[in-house]
Chains A and B, each alone.
Chain A
C-alpha cells in the first residue's frame, strides 16, 4: 500500500524568508500524481501545487515550488518570501494514475513569524 510521510510536525519561518517542507512517499507504481494542500485556520483545504510523476520538470506556482526526486521518492515544498497568510497546516498527498484514492501525509504545521 502507498504511504506518505511528513517528518516535520511543525516548522516556523520568519516573514519574507524561505522555508522547505519535506515529504516522502512509498509506491511501486511509475505513473502517479503528487500534491501539496494547504489548510488554514478556516480548515478549508486549498490546493497549492501539483506534480505529475512523468514530468521531470519541477512544478512552480508563484512563490511555491517543489523539488521532485522520483528515484528517492521525495517531494518537498519550498515557499519563498513567506507571508503571514502562509501560516497553515500543509498536507502532502499522493494518488495513482487512476486517481481512485488519495493518500495523505500527517501534515506539517507552519508558523510565520513577523
Chain B
C-alpha cells in the first residue's frame, strides 16, 4: 500500500529535549518537505530535500535539523533551540520531473510541550 507514513501521531517534548519526527515514503518520490502549521494559519516550509544527501533550509529552519540518508526517509529533529515548538507538522513528497507537480501529504504529527 503506497503512501507517506508520519510517526508518531502525537508527541510531547520536555524543556531542553530534542525530539525526532519520522517521515517515511514508498512512493519513490525524489523530493520531500517538512511544513509547520500553527492554529488558524497556513503552512510554512521548514526544510526540503530534492535528492539523497542534500537538503535546503526553508523559511523557518531555525531550531530544526534534518537528514536525508535514504530516498525513503526524511526525519525532522526539533532541537531545544526551538523555543516555540508546539504545532502540527506535515511531511510531503513530490515526484520530480513529472508534469503533475502536486504535493502528497502525510497525516501529520502534533507536537506539544509539557
Residues of A near B76 (CB, < 8 A) are none
Q: Is B42 a contact partner of A104 (Cβ separation < 8 A)?
A: yes
Q: Is A91 an interface residue (CB 8 A)?
A: yes
The answer to whether residues A45 and B105 also contact, given A99-B94, A107-B40 and a CB cut-off of 8 A, is yes
Q: Which of A9-58 contact B (CB under 8 A)?
A: 9, 33, 35, 42-45, 47, 50
Residues of A near B31 (CB, < 8 A) are 99-100
Residue of A nearest to B101 (CB): A99
Number of interface residues of A (CB under 8 A): 20
Chain B residues packing against A (C-beta within 8 Å): 31, 33, 35, 40-45, 48, 50, 58, 88, 90, 92, 94, 96, 100-103, 105, 107-108
Q: How far is the CA of A89 from the CA of B35 in the complex (A)?
A: 16
**When A and B form their complex, what is the total count of cross-chain residue pairs whose Cβ atoms lie within 8 Å?**
47
Residues of B near A9 (CB, < 8 A) are 40
Q: Is A62 an interface residue (CB 8 A)?
A: no
Minimum CB–CB distance for B58 against chain A, Å: 7
Q: Is A91 a contact partner of B42 (Cβ separation < 8 A)?
A: yes
The answer to whether residues A43 and B41 also contact, given A35-B102, A95-B101, A101-B48 and a CB cut-off of 8 A, is no
The answer to whether residues A47 and B102 also contact, given A99-B94, A100-B50 and a CB cut-off of 8 A, is yes
Q: Is A33 a contact partner of B42 (Cβ separation < 8 A)?
A: no
Q: How far is the CA of A9 from the CA of B44 in the complex (A)?
A: 17
The answer to whether residues A106 and B45 also contact, given A44-B105, A47-B102, A101-B58 and a CB cut-off of 8 A, is no
